[in-house]
Structure 1
Amino acid sequence: MSSNSKVDDGTNIFPVPNHTLPYWRSDLHEIDSYRSTEQLPKECDILIIGAGLSGVSTAYHLLDDNPSPPSIILLEAREVCSGATGRNGGHLFAPHSYVDKVVREYGVDAARELMLFCKSQMFAMKSVVEKENLDCDAVLTRYFETCLTQSFAEEIKKHYDEQLKIGLDFIQDVDHVGPKHAEKLSGVKGAKGGTTTTALQLWPYKFVTQLLACLVKRTSINVQTHTRVLSVSNSDDGWNIVTTPRGSIRARKVVFASNGYTAGISPIFENKIVPIKLTCSHISVPKDTPSPPPHLSHTYGLNFDGPALRDYLIPRPDGGVICGGAKSTYMKGDKNTWFNNFDDSTLIEQARSHFETVMQDNFLGWENSGAAVDYLWTGIIGYTSDSWPHCGKIPRQENHFILAGYNGAGMPLIFLTAKGIARMIREDLPFEESGIPRIFKTTEERLKLDVDR
């Protein structure tokens, strides 16, 4: 089966060259465009497509403390961590907003499983930062989901009270903040209420590149950047044939860590994982500003009118701020600018003015800070019909594994999902014993669900 998956205009889905420059790629690692060998190897035990957090974490869990390591080739269409991981907010927490949806659709046990999985992710990544001595600005903090309208604040409080009433023990780390103290504690102007929970922020590009550099230094992993996969097919002898412009590789197993680009190389996911274009920014304050703003001790969600119109905001240790979202500025316009769009070489300029004033408009003490956008970029996420990633063995595809389609919320999911995929491969485990939340399993039933256009 070849990978000639198309979008509506007849164009192949693949990472484009000349992508916009995100802040996270302003300090490049020497491994950024690395190739382990001049020529592609002819074959391997495991071939991983994608060198972002998903692909590199899978390789790490396959090789770390493995006395009989498999031969692994890691292919990346562009540079290491140039896709969604290098374009996100650099932030992870257990998303309390998912709880009601999961309880309603899958039951309390599935919600508990998901929340504890996300919470464990923070400490698992913190542990590997410490174990591998990664210099990636990892900071454990609190996340403050703020409500800027009274109606949404009341809705959040109602759901929180209902969760307490039915005894959801897995939300113990979530703290509700009412209107009396919300503005003062958060520093967000006019905050009507919200919730806080533990969070981890880090520099995602540095986490991924330094972790990959550790593997290159101490294992035999073969990394090949600027090597786009054109197709993956099965040979009569049971091997997978992975074709690239530089030649073909025979692989016993293939891992699709390709997120929003997956349909371009695995057509079974056409209209199942759809590329969505989003935007993010880095905001800085002039060093000579006469009105230095106060330090912000939380990371934030700013709900202007519910989660559909929400910004995420991560104050950096150096005083800069990452802010993403601004959906109200462009999502009601031409849908082609963002839906089924895999081109991150162009900006969504409508969002710039929103980001230019988001700090002054919403945070106490920032009115005269001079805060301004110095980086604006776009990134491609993988969107699925039910809002959950596709993970595990791909149905009807022998020895194909996937972890992709994170709906813009991959950071609190990926690292331990990659560990689960690695366990399935290393120990020949079924999905149900992998430790990955049950609702992530890719199944024939889920593959019948198209993303609404």
Structure 2
Amino acid sequence: MTGNNIFPVPNATLPYWRSELHGIDSLRTTEELPKECDVLIIGAGLSGVSTAYHLLSDNPSPPSIVLLEAREICSGATGRNGGHLLSPHSYVDPVVREHGVDAARELALFQRDQIYAMKGIAEKENLDCDAVLTRYFETFLTQAHADKVKRQYKEQLKAGLDFIQDVQYVGPKYAEQGSCRFVLYDIKHANWNQLSGVKGAKGGTTTTALQLWPYKFVTGLLARLVERTSINIQTHTPVTSVSPSEDAGSIVTTSRGSIKARKVVFATNAYTAGICPTIEKKIVPIKITCSHIKVPEKSPNQPPHLSHTYGINFNDSSRDYLIPRPDGGIICGGAKSTYAGDKNLWFNNVDDSTLIEQARPHFETVMQDNFRGWENSGAAVDYLWTGKYFADMREVIGYTADSWPHCGKVHGQENHYVLAGYNGAGMPVIFLAAKGISKMIREDVPFEESGIPRIFKVTEKRLEKDVTR
């Protein structure tokens, strides 16, 4: 598949997050496209909407902004993810090896700050998005994997890596037992009694996390901008090309006409290579699958409620994530081991209109197979969907060549900005990365003053590496 074919397809599968649509879902602020604008943002997911929010909030001289979306608001990766963000410690060793301790600290603190920034905005803007601050529990079902993580954790503590103090390793004594009741009375001290409930867990790590309804966060935030700013939103308006104009601006061509823009922001994640040739083969889309699992209301065997969120590592290369919903349902993503062998299903594939049916049997029994007290619950899949993501750095293949996002100015394009390629971990970085991009635009500062982690910067060296199978 070439970059020219990387565009959103119609009739996408329906994710659970889009089961309750907002009034602005298919908004067009004006019947016709504006002729020009100061900043044109391509993509109305978390990246694009967050960038618009930071550009327009508390700005005495706000720019004119046009926000373009090929389909509906938040219909891409943000509306198809797990609704979860945390600051994992698993990346620490490779970052320290390649970039040094300071870079690892910078990234860890950035991700930690993202949790509280999104929680704060949800509260400040009164967003009805089910935002809940919780603990995340990463479990390991093989002894070798648990021992490896324990060893890495101890080495990190011994090395004085103070930025992982929020992480705690839990041994087998508490990793499996219990019905998932967890009392957190201090961020550094916890009652581990009855912690996990994951069958056969040999160990685990816990850290602070935030879960929310991503579609409602994005649409709620955008609705606030509609109420108090002059942002122009145009849904169902796919961009087909971006070309330079005679006055150092850009001509953005869409299916409905063209707009002249002084600055352009590519908030297009998996689709970036389709309209930004510099990024072709540097960000490669993959297709993965996610589910919502529901317990019948009249089931005589109601399972214990899960009070925090989970990762289940079946082995070094097979992992699911699970996020309990307030209504007792479960978001579960992963099951990649069921279809990973057929790369045509997922590698360089943007077709989210079809399901990866090989994953369905795994999701149908994942709760019964792995959680104590769920064996006779009758839990079953009621939503199954696909989306475009990028491989988590813990998996075999990274879908940016170095497993880190591309953020900052597009190489060789002074007035083009990009934030994309999140490798399956966009929620912990996007909101503050967008704040950094907006600072670059608002204050005309270099990347180094944006607050974005240094390893995210778009550089010539990073662009030398293509993503391959």
Q: With the length of structure 1 as denominator, give the TM-score of the two structures.
A: 0.97
Whether 1:263 aligns to 2:273 is yes
Pick one of 336, 343, 351 that aligns with 2:359.
Answer: 351
Pick one of 317, 322, 325 that aligns with 1:316.
Answer: 325
Whether 1:380 aligns to 2:388 is yes
Q: Partner residue of 1:67?
A: 60
Q: Partner residue of 1:199?
A: 209
Whether 1:81 aligns to 2:97 is no
Q: Partner residue of 1:416?
A: 432
Structure 2 residue matching 1:33: 3-state secondary structure: coil
**Separation of aligned partners in 1, 2:4 and 2:99:** 37
Q: Partner residue of 1:170?
A: 163
Q: Partner residue of 1:451?
A: 467
Q: Is the 8 A contact 2:278 2:411 kept in 1?
A: no
CA deviations over 1:340-397 (Å, ceiling 9, x no partner): 0010000000000000000000000000000000000000124311000000001111
Whether 1:427 aligns to 2:420 is no
**Separation of aligned partners in 2, 1:79 and 1:158:** 46
Q: Partner residue of 2:187?
A: none
Q: Partner residue of 2:87?
A: 94
Q: Partner residue of 1:338?
A: 346
Whether 1:135 aligns to 2:128 is yes
Pick one of 9, 13, 18 that aligns with 2:11.
Answer: 18
Structure 1 residue matching 2:460: 3-state secondary structure: coil
Structure 2 residue matching 1:250: 3-state secondary structure: strand
Whether 1:394 aligns to 2:414 is no
Pick one of 158, 175, 183 that aligns with 2:176.
Answer: 183
Give the AA of the match of 2:165.
Q
Q: Partner residue of 1:325?
A: 334
Structure 2 residue matching 1:314: 3-state secondary structure: strand
**Separation of aligned partners in 2, 1:374 and 1:367:** 18
**Separation of aligned partners in 1, 2:247 and 2:82:** 44
CA deviations over 1:247-296 (Å, ceiling 9, x no partner): 00000000000000000000111110001000000000000000000011
CA deviations over 1:218-264 (Å, ceiling 9, x no partner): 00000000000000000122120000010000000000000000000
**Separation of aligned partners in 1, 2:321 and 2:87:** 14
CA deviations over 1:7-26 (Å, ceiling 9, x no partner): 25x96110100000000000
Q: Partner residue of 1:4?
A: none
Gaps of 5+ in 1: 1-6
- Superposed, which structure 2 residues align to 1:113-124 within 5 Å? 113-124=106-117
Give the AA of the match of 2:465.
L
**Separation of aligned partners in 1, 2:97 and 2:322:** 29
Detail structure 1 runs of 4+ shifted over 4 Å in the superposition.
Answer: none
Pick one of 42, 45, 48 that aligns with 1:49.
Answer: 42
Q: Partner residue of 1:361?
A: 369
Q: Partner residue of 1:437?
A: 453
Structure 2 residue matching 1:391: 3-state secondary structure: strand
**Separation of aligned partners in 2, 1:386 and 1:239:** 31
**Separation of aligned partners in 2, 1:66 and 1:318:** 39
**Separation of aligned partners in 1, 2:168 and 2:260:** 51
Give the AA of the match of 2:367.
M
Whether 1:151 aligns to 2:144 is yes
**Separation of aligned partners in 2, 1:237 and 1:175:** 55
Q: With the length of structure 2 as denominator, give the TM-score of the two structures.
A: 0.94
Give the AA of the match of 2:413.
Q
Structure 2 residue matching 1:380: 3-state secondary structure: strand
Structure 2 residue matching 1:230: 3-state secondary structure: strand
CA deviations over 1:158-213 (Å, ceiling 9, x no partner): 00010011111000100110011110211100100010000000000000001000
**Separation of aligned partners in 2, 1:237 and 1:156:** 55
**Separation of aligned partners in 2, 1:161 and 1:64:** 43
**Separation of aligned partners in 2, 1:75 and 1:229:** 8
Structure 1 residue matching 2:419: 3-state secondary structure: strand
CA deviations over 1:88-147 (Å, ceiling 9, x no partner): 000000011111111111111000000000000010000100110000000000000000
Q: Partner residue of 1:290?
A: 300
**Separation of aligned partners in 2, 1:71 and 1:384:** 32
Structure 2 residue matching 1:73: 3-state secondary structure: strand
**Separation of aligned partners in 2, 1:269 and 1:428:** 23
Give the AA of the match of 2:428.
P
Q: Partner residue of 1:3?
A: none
**Separation of aligned partners in 2, 1:219 and 1:149:** 53
Q: Partner residue of 1:403?
A: 419
**Separation of aligned partners in 2, 1:390 and 1:194:** 31
Q: CA RMSD in A?
A: 0.8
Give the AA of the match of 2:338.
T
Shift of 1:398: 2.6
Q: How many pairs does the alignment contain? A: 444
Whether 1:39 aligns to 2:32 is yes
**Separation of aligned partners in 2, 1:398 and 1:169:** 38
**Separation of aligned partners in 2, 1:446 and 1:99:** 20
